[in-house]
Amino acid sequence: MAKNEKLVKSITSRDEDFAQWYTDICIKAELVDYSTAKGFVYVRPYGYAIWENIQKCLDRRFKETDHVNMALPLLIPESLLQKEKDHVNGFAPEVAWVTYGGKEKLEERMCVRPTSEVLFCEHWKNVLQSYRQLPFLYNQWGSVVRWEKTTRPFLRSREFWWQEGHTLHETAEDAQRETLQQLDTYASFLEEEAMIPVIKGRKTDSEKFAGAEATYTVEAMMHDGKALQSGTSHYFGDGFARAFDITFADRNNGRSFPHQTSWGMSTRIIGAIIMTHGDDEGLVLPPALAPFQLVIIPIAQHKEGVLDKANELKDRLKSLYRVKLDDTDNQPGWKFSEYEMKGVPIRIEIGPKDIEKDQCVLVRRDTREKIFVSLDNLEAELERVFNEYADALYARAKENLVTRTVELEKLDEIIEQADKNDGFIKSHWCGSTECEEAMKEKAGLSSRCMPFGEQGVKKGVCPICGKETDTIVVWGKAY
């Protein structure tokens, strides 16, 4: 089989129709199935296994910084949701309401949680007494419902799975430090385990979370040049605490309002992995998140000793990697196609000739390069190949991000660039909502973030109004 021959012929080409390519992978790689409830999906075992690995990576990082997990109710009484007006107004169009319990109409309707700020606030009001208890560093794993009009698996569905961190602090400085720490946690996870480069920055006021004083984001660029908001961290100040009358006995024997944060990352990261690393054969998974890091394919498995050697390899490697041995009676070519589509990082082939030579064949998912390896040196070679494979995924994504990010200052140049190419455009911005909205109308671009390290460095002019400014914004089209 030629190196560049397309193995999986039932997946639409990325260049032909990117949206259909994405949907094909979600279905044919057995990540999701559609539900009869419009906008809802079944996350199938293979898709959920990716999410479980994401959970493990993030949960480990959270616990290294002393966060603990808890669980909150699914339903929120309307009166409780109404306590923070900016928050409820921001979510009102997406709220799903429960009005009946069994056959009885509820005295007060309840919403299926779209997020859990108000639930945490109700809880904290009941349990917080003294500054000695702070900080509260909490996280919840679960699902939420937001009644999206247009849905797509992982990227935007009416129910999605996520983690939502919620913390309470004695001082504003502590809360602000937490907000940026958790943003760094997301960035390091994405770059070190999902192998996705990101831009860190602050959202504009019109794009910040409802009820927040400041929202920070990690923005990733997909293969087609569009942006995906991949994780956000919010500083609330004491606004929620005041709305819910949450106070504590402070160090001066007075009463003070605590300062609050919230941060979240969801199953949309699975979509980010698909659209950043995938190719026309299907998924290309980073090793840290792949359900199976290795698949062993016996060649001519009906011949004596082949299955025994394949099982021996599985037993030898299973303490180091997540390993699958496919000993079904499907033809090897079918198996190659199946595991390419599912994005397994490395395939191990072992057959009679390999056994005679005391070797096996490693095949990388991204390049399909075949590497003949002595069985005596297998573990060392696997470590090397895995490292090279992961680095290559990151490097390709980084190159895409760098080459498709341009700096422009004139509006006509921005409009021309946005019409011809998807990607990120950096420009100065005066800070006004009117100019931000004008950029959406004239160029079809939304503000992604004000990137860290680039603010106040050099002066320029806003491309909309011409006002001098030293604020830089990254603009882009987004999922």
**In this model, does residue 200 exceed pLDDT 50?**
yes
Sign of CA dihedral 244, 248, 254, 256: negative
Residue ranges covered by each domain of the chain:
18-277, 294-385, 405-476
Residues 40-54 have pLDDT tens digits of 999 999 999 999 999
Two tokens, residue 9: 């012929």
Per the CB < 8 A criterion, the answer to whether 249 and 129 are in contact is yes
User: What pLDDT, on the 0 to 100 scale, is given for residue 91?
Assistant: 77
Q: What is the pTM of this model?
A: 0.94
User: What pLDDT, on the 0 to 100 scale, is given for residue 90?
Assistant: 75
Residues 98-157 have pLDDT tens digits of 999 999 999 999 999 999 999 999 999 999 999 999 999 999 999 999 999 999 999 999
Give the mean model confidence (pLDDT) for residues 432-442.
97
Give the up-direction half-sphere exposure of residue 389: CA atoms within 13 A in the CB hemisphere: 31
Give the mean model confidence (pLDDT) for residues 313-319.
98
Residues 120-137 have pLDDT tens digits of 999 999 999 999 999 999
Residues 324-358 have pLDDT tens digits of 999 999 999 999 999 999 999 999 999 999 999 99
Give the three-state DSSP class for 107.
Answer: strand
Q: Which residues make beta-bridge pairs with 141?
A: 163
Q: Which residues contact 359 (CB under 8 A, 6 or more apart)?
A: 372, 373, 374, 375
Q: Which residues make beta-bridge pairs with 202?
A: 216, 450
User: What pLDDT, on the 0 to 100 scale, is given for residue 1?
Assistant: 43
Two tokens, residue 110: 């309840």
Give dist(CA 47, CA 53) in Å, integer.
10
Q: What is the DSSP string of 193-221?
A: TS----EEEEPPGGGSPTT-SEEEEEEEE
3-class SS string, 322-375: CEEECCCCCCHHHHHHHHHHCCCCEEEEECHHHHHCCEEEEEECCCCCEEEEEH
Domain boundaries 294-385, CATH class: alpha beta
User: What pLDDT, on the 0 to 100 scale, is given for residue 9?
Assistant: 57
Cβ atoms within 10 Å, residue 434: 9
- DSSP tag of 150: S
The C-alpha angle with vertex 174 and arms to 168 and 180, in degrees rounded to 5, equals 95
Give the mean model confidence (pLDDT) for residues 181-201.
98
Give the mean model confidence (pLDDT) for residues 310-325.
98
Cβ atoms within 10 Å, residue 457: 8
**What rounded mean pLDDT belongs to the chain?**
95
Strands 405-407 and 424-428, by their bridges, are parallel
Contacts 24+ apart (CB under 8 A), 372-378: 375/313, 378/313, 378/316, 378/317
Per the CB < 8 A criterion, the answer to whether 209 and 233 are in contact is no
Strands 199-202 and 214-221, by their bridges, are antiparallel
Give dist(CA 157, CA 143) in Å, integer.
11
Per the CB < 8 A criterion, the answer to whether 250 and 131 are in contact is yes
For domain 405-476, is the CATH number 3.40.309.10? no
Strands 136-145 and 199-202, by their bridges, are unpaired
User: What pLDDT, on the 0 to 100 scale, is given for residue 181?
Assistant: 98
Residue 177 one-letter amino acid: R
Give the mean model confidence (pLDDT) for residues 363-369.
97
User: What pLDDT, on the 0 to 100 scale, is given for residue 3?
Assistant: 46
Do 405-476 and 18-277 have the same topology in CATH? no
Per the CB < 8 A criterion, the answer to whether 18 and 225 are in contact is no
Give dist(CA 144, CA 256) in Å, integer.
32
Give the mean model confidence (pLDDT) for residues 203-222.
96
Give dist(CA 364, CA 344) in Å, integer.
9
Rounded alpha-carbon distances, angstroms, from residue 151 to 74, 268, 275:
22, 12, 16
Q: Among 5-19, 232-246, 407-421, which stretch is predicted with the lowest mean pLDDT?
A: 5-19
**In this model, does residue 198 exceed pLDDT 60?**
yes
Q: Which of 357, 300, 372 is nearest to 333 (CA)?
A: 300
Domain range 18-277, CATH architecture:
2-Layer Sandwich (3.30)
**In this model, does residue 7 exceed pLDDT 70?**
no
**In this model, does residue 85 exceed pLDDT 80?**
no
